[in-house]
Every structure is written in C-alpha cells, then in structure tokens.
Amino acid sequence: MRRQTFGHDDIIFREGEYAESMFEVESGSVGIYANYGSPDARLLATLGQNEYFGEMGLAECYPRSATAVALEDGTTLDEIGADEFSDFFVGRPDVVLTIMRSLSARLRETNARYLEARQTIHDAVEAERAGAKRSNALASKLTRLLRFGRATRESSFRRS
C-alpha cells in the first residue's frame, strides 16, 4: 500500500485508463466524474474519508469508467495495487463488506433510475399515440432521462 497526497483538481486517474490500483480516502475528498473536462462533464459521486473507489476497474481488469479528481488540497489516499488486491481483501473482510454495500447501493440507484427512465419512455410513447402534447413534467423527465442515459452510456459507472 502506498500513501499519496493530491492537490485541489489533481487528477487521480482518467476515464478509459486501465486500472492498476484502487484507493481509500484517508482525508479530503474525491469527485468521480463522467466526461471530465468536457462541456458534458457530470459529477457522479463525491467520496470522503474511509470510502473506497477504483475497485471495479481493478476487479474486472477493465478500463476506468470515470475520472477521479481530488476536490481539496491535501487529499490523502492509500493506493492498493493490483499485486496487493487479493491479500488486502483476505486480510480486511470488513473492507470487503463495505465495498459490497457501496456496490449494492450504486446498483440499487441505477436500477431505480432505469425503472424511472423506462416509465418515462412508456409515458412519452403513450402520449404520442394518443396525440397528446407532452406536458412540461414529461419534457422535464425526458431531459433527465437523456442526461442519465448519456452519463451511463459513457461512464458505465460509475464505477471507478
């Protein structure tokens, strides 16, 4: 394990890079972004002390689905490398449970958004079939759906 300190707006890793490690936040905070640096950038999560990120890319041996950025000067992280990954989990079952709970919450949120998006699309199709004009509420839902779909498609999330 290696301890690192980052300044405000320092990039910890970029979307699309292959994962070589995961991180625990010791102090400060980290923002997880889809499309970081573009006009479509979206903050997906803000993480603080004792939270983990980057585990998905490391566990899957898959490119990062988001960019991690230090949000404060002096953000301190413990980096757990790929070579330490298995031993870390064997020696820290409490961390495994914490990460599983976090992944479960992320999946639950994604499922809820998916169901909302599905219902919104259904409502839009039914309104179109009935020849009705879209209400402001429906237009607002569709806009949120498009933003969520774009972020999900591009980040696959959220994940680290």
Q: What is the mean pLDDT of residues 74-93?
A: 87
Tens digits of per-residue pLDDT, 29-78?
999 999 999 999 999 889 999 999 998 887 787 889 999 999 999 999 99
**Per-residue pLDDT at 70:** 98
User: What integer pLDDT is reported at residue 154 of this predicted model?
Assistant: 47
Query: Identity (one letter) of the amino acid at 88?
Result: F
Q: What integer is the mean pLDDT of 132-145?
A: 66
Specify which residues 114 forms β-bridges with.
none
More confident residue, 124 or 79: 79
Report pLDDT for 131. 64
**Token code pair at residue 102:** 């976090």
pLDDT of 2 > 80? The answer is: yes
Cβ atoms of 54 and 60 closer than 8 Å: no
Contact predicate 75/28, CB 8 Å: yes
Digit-coded pLDDT (tens) for 102-124: 888 888 888 888 888 888 888 87
Global pTM reads 0.70
% residues pLDDT > 70 (the chain): 85
The tokens for 34 are: 């889809």
Domains of the chain with CATH codes: 2-155 (2.60.120.10)
Residue type at 110?
T
Statement: residue 156 has pLDDT above 60: no
